[in-house]
Structures are given as C-alpha cells and as structure tokens.
Structure 1
Amino acid sequence: MSPELVELALRKQRLQMRSAAQRDALIQHASTFTPLLRGVDRIADGIHWARNNAPIVSGIAIFLLVVRPRATLRWARRGWLGWQLVRRARNLIP
C-alpha cells in the first residue's frame, strides 16, 4: 500500500473516532431536554385527542358552563388568551 493511502486511511479512522465522540457528547447534552420534550409530546397528544373527540369536549364544556359558570368563563378567558399568545408567537417565527 502506498504511504498516501495509509495516511488517508488513518485520517479517515481519526475522523470517524472524532465523529463518534461528538455524537456521544451531543446525545449526553440533549438528554437534559428529554423531560421538556416529553411534556411537549403529551400536550400535542392531548390536543390531537381533543380534536378527534370534539363532541365529548363540547359536552364537558357545556356541562361545566351550566354547573360552574364563573369558573368556566374564567378558564375560557385564560384559554383564549393562551391561544392568542400562541398565534402571535407562530407569526413571529418564520
């Protein structure tokens, strides 16, 4: 084997080892975000469930509006403000 090919093979091996070390470091650093990402996934699953079960959600909302109107309206206002905040945040992100 020529010395150039040996040097290229050694360089390739060093790059592969450095890449593996960087990959391990990235996995270790990203693991700190796991609880946050799990929470986001749970929220997304809840929204997906609510969209698929709209009649149930509407029935519960009407029941709560009849039983506890003030509390329901207070939570509805908070939900509306949260939804508006999310919409505005989406518009800021290109």
Structure 2
Amino acid sequence: MKPTLVERQTALRIRSAELRAQMALQSRALEAPLATADRLRDGWRWLSRHRQWLWLGGAALALLRPRRTLRLLGRGWLGWRALRRWQPLMAVVIDTLRRSTATGGTPP
C-alpha cells in the first residue's frame, strides 16, 4: 500500500529533524577552529584600522634588535618573491583540482 501524502510529509519532517540533530552534533567539531578563525579575522580588522601600532612595533623591533629585523625583512622579501614566482603554477594546480572534483573524479 502506498503511503498517503500526509504520511509521507510526516516521515520527511521526522527525517529532516533527525538530520538536523545529527548535523548539529557533527558541527560541534568545527566550533573551535571557526572561533579561532573569527578571532584572527577580528584581530586583522583591528590591525587594519590601527596601523600605527604595527608601525610602532616595527620601529621598536628595529631599534631594539636591528639584526633580527634585517633578517626578518630578508626572509619576508624571499617569501614574497617565492610566492610571486609560484602563484601562476599554484593557480593552475588549484584550477585542475577544482575541475576534477566538480566532475566527480578523484584528484590526480
């Protein structure tokens, strides 16, 4: 015997409630990483609005530890150059991965 529309609707509502409860339990694992990401985002926003503190910290570091400051600047420069060099390649890799997962395939 085929279920009536009301019975099917009730069964779907019960199943939907079960799935929502299951998803709520599973999403608890993401609470800590997402809270950390929110704090980082808020800190970044604060820092972008109060850039003078970043400059003041950099100036203090340069005055107190000039060699360390030069070393950090050199590493930052090398990192920036490496990022600029590898960016086109990484764009191709990411695009390939996106296309392969969008078509249902496994990444190469």
Q: Report the TM-score when normalising by structure 2.
A: 0.63
Say how many residue pairs are matched: 86
Whichever residue aligns with residue 23 of structure 1, its letter is: R
1:60 corresponds to 2:54: no
- For residues 35 and 77 of structure 2, the distance between their equivalents in structure 1, rounded to whole angstroms, comes to 22
- 2:69 corresponds to which of 48, 67, 72: 72
Matches within 5 A, 1:1-94: 7-76=4-73, 77=75, 81=79, 84=83, 88=87, 91=91, 92=94
Whichever residue aligns with residue 81 of structure 1, its letter is: G
After the TM superposition, list the runs of 4 or more consecutive aligned residues in structure 1 that deviate by more than 6 angstroms. none
- For residues 34 and 79 of structure 1, the distance between their equivalents in structure 2, rounded to whole angstroms, comes to 35
- Deviations 1:21-62 (CA, angstroms, capped at 9, x unpaired): 001111111110111111111111111111000012111111
- For residues 27 and 46 of structure 2, the distance between their equivalents in structure 1, rounded to whole angstroms, comes to 28
Offset at 1:10?
A: 1.1
Query: Aligned-pair RMSD on alpha carbons?
Result: 3.0
- For residues 80 and 39 of structure 1, the distance between their equivalents in structure 2, rounded to whole angstroms, comes to 28
Higher share in helix: 1
Gaps of 5+ in 1: none
Q: Report the TM-score when normalising by structure 1.
A: 0.72
Offset at 1:66?
A: 0.9
Offset at 1:69?
A: 2.0
Whichever residue aligns with residue 57 of structure 1, its letter is: L
Gaps of 5+ in 2: 99-108
